[in-house]
Amino acid sequence: MTQMNSSTGTDRFDVVVVGGGVLGTSVAARLAATSASVCVLEAASDVCEGASKGNAGTACSYYGPPGTLETELINRSYPHWEELCGRLGVAYRRGGAIMLALDDAEAETLGHTLAELDEAGVRGEMKTPAEVAQLEPLANMATVAGLWMPDEGVIDPMALTVAYANLAVTNGAQLRLNAPVTTIRRLDDGSMELATPQGTVRGRYVVNAAGVRAGDVSELAGGEPLRSWPRKGQYAVLDRRFAEQLQRTVFCTHSPTTKGINVVPTTHGSALLGPTAQDLEDAGDTSTDRDQVEALIESARRLVPSITRDVVIKTFAANRPASEEPHRLRFDQTVANLLHVTNRSAGVSVSPAAGAYALDLLRDAGLDAEDRPDAVRALPSTPRLRTATDLNTLFAQDPLYAQVVCACESVSAAEINRALTSPVPACSLDGVRKRTGAMYGRCQGSLCAAGISFLTALHTNTGPRDVKQTAHGTVGQ
């Protein structure tokens, strides 16, 4: 049923999804639960290789003014995160967020934001500085006001994307990795033929969920020009020895041009500072630079002054798609069966509803997709050693839980083996990290990456030189 990677000849599908990020996999997971046949094409050797792995991991209740499809999809998504993440075995926490105003001008802006929240039907409440300090003791004491948003949450965006992909594949979707689309040909019967290094596939409908590269895919298909460009965000990750004290997400007041630098506790117990915003030409530029990182930390210290440089354990950059049309979930204006599914920063937050919405659009356009009662809705859960309280039960489940591989983040061989054998398995050290959090801690794999590369080599039938360190490159030359 499941066929990954190599294939020859032309295979036909009702829907071909281009892009294995959080939106592409969400759409695929929804479609796979119907009678429609689905194929996902991903350019990289793993899912979740673009903006979906490089974001702050917020699951928003509010992102922008009401009246947009984006806000509508966020409103349809956020009440259901506990249920969805429970089914998919993804870490999620509705911890709430506090947006800080540090001067009177910012306090005025917060007032406007609160009005937007009210209009959108999202819970929000203005708090005094004393109340802010109670909600988040680490927040800057010198606030003028705070906007409390209890329905803001944090999520593991990599686990979410992998879970959507696992669910899609479990329900019969085909996933082709290492399959960048090189040409798209429109056939006489209206369907499209997409050529990739992993063979050619034909789809009656094509979903363009290619993120920062959505414009390229539209162009290949002869669709409308989608003006979008990469916006680079740099981030810093804080050690859990500091970050575990942080209770809430701390947002800065939005300015008219940017949502600014935020402090976000992660579901792993670390915290993320970011993102910076730098518009680029080159979607492959994910370099970091010291000056931006220092500025980022300084901005974060306005929100949480006790942050210091020495608790930063990792910095990274990722590109999100910026556009004058920030949210695009609609059919192409010229190619009737090309459905664009792209979003600016809030891809994770809209993803549950975006899958359902895309299916509705496809059905309206004539796709025959009956919901299958036998479709799998839940994935087998993988308990985490780090958060487990009853260790003996864990050991009874799988003795490999007592083989602690990544000590900083308490990740066991049991969890790593599951990541390497799941329906969409990790195929690189980074793939293991994305699925388990191993090597994500303060030593960044100094002690465990050798062991994890041996385990990964074993499962991918490679060796110490050819084992993939990232989705794009091997350890050895």
Smallest gap from residue 292 Cβ to other proteins (A): 9
Amino acid sitting at position 135: L
**Residue 177 contacts residue 4 (beta carbons within 8 Å):** yes
Count of residues in contact with other proteins, rule CB under 8 A: 53
Binding mask 344-383 for other proteins (x = CB under 8 A): ----------------------------------------
- The two structure tokens encoding residue 372: 């299958």
Per CB under 8 A, the list member of 286, 299, 382, 460 interacting with other proteins is 286
**Residue 225 contacts residue 218 (beta carbons within 8 Å):** yes
In whole angstroms, what is the distance from residue 22 CA to residue 351 CA? Answer: 7
H/E segment holding residue 228: strand 228-238
178 binds other proteins per the rule CB under 8 A = no
Binding mask 71-110 for other proteins (x = CB under 8 A): ----------------------------------------
Per CB under 8 A, the list member of 166, 453, 456, 462 interacting with other proteins is 453
Closer residue to other proteins, CB minimum distance, 316 or 331: 316
- Cα 11 to chain centroid distance, Å, stands at 29
- The two structure tokens encoding residue 151: 């329905």
Per CB under 8 A, the list member of 217, 313, 341, 419 interacting with other proteins is 313
301 binds other proteins per the rule CB under 8 A = no
Closer residue to other proteins, CB minimum distance, 63 or 401: 401
Smallest gap from residue 276 Cβ to other proteins (A): 14
403, exposed or middle or buried, with CB in 10 Å at 0-12, 13-18, 19+? middle
In whole angstroms, what is the distance from residue 23 CA to residue 12 CA? Answer: 22
Question: Binding to other proteins (CB under 8 A): which residues in 12-71?
Answer: none
H/E segment holding residue 220: helix 214-220
445 binds other proteins per the rule CB under 8 A = yes
Q: List all residues 6 or more positions away from 391 whose beta carbon is below 8 Å from its beta carbon.
A: 385, 401
Per CB under 8 A, the list member of 287, 306, 308, 334 interacting with other proteins is 287
Among candidate residues 37, 15, 47, 43, the one with its CA nearest the CA of residue 171: 37
460 binds other proteins per the rule CB under 8 A = no
Binding piece for other proteins, criterion CB under 8 A, among 138-146, 207-215, 350-358, 468-476: 468-476
Question: Binding to other proteins (CB under 8 A): which residues in 380-419?
Answer: 385-386, 391-392, 394-395, 399, 401-404, 407-408, 410, 412
Closer residue to other proteins, CB minimum distance, 333 or 446: 446
Rounded to 10 deg, the angle between the 157-170 and 347-364 helix axes is 30
- The two structure tokens encoding residue 299: 């901005």
CB-CB neighbours of 246 under 10 Å: 25
- The two structure tokens encoding residue 138: 């680490």
Mark 82-108 as b/e (b = at least 16 C-beta within 10 Å). Answer: eebbebbbbbbbbbbbbbbbbeeebbe
280 binds other proteins per the rule CB under 8 A = no
Binding mask 200-239 for other proteins (x = CB under 8 A): ------------------------------------xx--
Per CB under 8 A, the list member of 208, 262, 315, 319 interacting with other proteins is 315
In the Cβ-directed half-sphere of 73, how many Cα atoms lie within 13 Å? Answer: 24
Binding piece for other proteins, criterion CB under 8 A, among 117-125, 308-316, 322-330, 416-424: 308-316
Smallest gap from residue 416 Cβ to other proteins (A): 14
Binding piece for other proteins, criterion CB under 8 A, among 125-133, 186-194, 416-424, 459-467: 459-467
Q: List all residues 6 or more positions away from 348 whose beta carbon is below 8 Å from its beta carbon.
A: 22, 52, 55, 57, 58, 59, 155, 157, 160
449 binds other proteins per the rule CB under 8 A = yes
Binding piece for other proteins, criterion CB under 8 A, among 93-101, 201-209, 309-317, 321-329: 309-317
312 binds other proteins per the rule CB under 8 A = yes
Among candidate residues 43, 45, 38, 46, the one with its CA nearest the CA of residue 13: 38
Angle made by CA atoms 2, 170, 7, in degrees to the nearest 5? 15
Among candidate residues 202, 165, 164, 174, the one with its CA nearest the CA of residue 2: 174
Closer residue to other proteins, CB minimum distance, 83 or 282: 282
Closer residue to other proteins, CB minimum distance, 109 or 453: 453
446 binds other proteins per the rule CB under 8 A = yes
In whole angstroms, what is the distance from residue 181 CA to residue 165 CA? Answer: 19
Strands in 158-213 per DSSP E? 174-176, 183-186, 192-196, 199-208
- Residues making contact with other proteins (CB under 8 A): 236-237, 241, 284, 286-290, 293, 312-316, 385-386, 391-392, 394-395, 399, 401-404, 407-408, 410, 412, 441-447, 449-451, 453, 463-465, 468-470, 472-477
